[in-house]
Amino acid sequence: MGLFDGMMGNASEVDTKTAEKELKELLSNSENVEHAYKLIRDLFVFTNKRLILVDKQGVTGKKVEYHSIPYKNITHFSIETAGTFDLDAELKIWVSGNSTPIEKTFNKQLNIYKVQSVLADYVCG
């Protein structure tokens, strides 16, 4: 993914070993990264136990916020596909105890249906 793609919000799939290396201090001994997607500097990571959202902040990206969401706490989710003039697709995830969804925007370069399908596999079993 080039710099221009990152600035435009294009998402891309990330190698699971690369994601595991970046998250090694957060993962439990029995936890493995199974799918990972990069959006600009942020990561959207599916492990065998939970969803991890990595939010890199600031100009340098050295400040990082990690959201750990066990799949059992995801109450529902939705996708809004890109239209003719709207080039972005959006994934919304609602977590129990929170009325405001977590929202992630994806460019057409990454198939939002694939991401939704992966999420459905983990949440719906």
Looking at residue 64, the DSSP 8-state letter turns out to be: E
User: What pTM did the predictor assign?
Assistant: 0.82
pLDDT tens digits, one per residue of 18-40 = 999 999 999 999 999 999 998 87
| CA angle in degrees (0–180, nearest 5) for 37-87-83 | 115
77: nearest Cα among 113, 38, 35 = 113
Say if residues 13 and 109 touch (Cβ distance below 8 Å): no
Say if residues 71 and 50 touch (Cβ distance below 8 Å): yes
Q: Does 6 have pLDDT greater than 50?
A: no
Burial 59-81 (b: 16+ CB within 10 A, else e): eeeeeeeeeeeebebbeebeeee
CA 106 to chain centre: 10
Report residue 113's pLDDT band, with 50, 70 and 90 as the boundaries. Answer: confident
pLDDT tens digits, one per residue of 46-96 = 999 999 999 888 777 788 999 999 999 999 999 988 776 667 788 999 999
With a CB cutoff of 8 Å and minimum separation 6, the contacts of 107 are: 8, 9, 10, 11, 82, 87, 88, 89
Amino acid at 27: L
Report residue 112's pLDDT band, with 50, 70 and 90 as the boundaries. Answer: confident
Burial of residue 52 (number of CB atoms within 10 Å: 0-12, 13-18, 19+): buried
Q: What is the pLDDT of residue 9?
A: 46
